[in-house]
Amino acid sequence: MFKKFSRGSAGERTSVPGSGLGLYICRSIVEAHDGRIWIDSTVGEGTTVGVWLPHEPRTLRARDAGVLQSTV
């Protein structure tokens, strides 16, 4: 479900528009913030997408540290 251009079987069978990029983009954003994203789905009941983000980032990436240092 988190693959680029991936669509669920229901989306392919119906006329629901979409490019299959939504969850891929969400995962990229969540992981960039050291978070987690998951899907819980039950046939006939529905799907829940969960997201967890840390209160504070675990680490300051080297590329981000360079940006911070250059702006000070």
Write out pLDDT tens, residues 21-59: 888 899 999 998 889 999 998 989 988 999 999 887 666
| Distance in angstroms (rounded) separating the CA atoms of residues 11 and 18 | 8
Domain extent listing, the chain: 9-71
Element (H, E) at 47: strand 46-52
pTM of this structure: 0.58
**Cβ proximity of 46 and 53 under 8 Å:** no
* Amino acid identity for residue 49 in this structure: V
46-51 CB contacts, 8 Å cutoff, 24+ apart: 49/23, 51/26
Q: Which residues are registered as beta bridge partners of 46?
A: 42
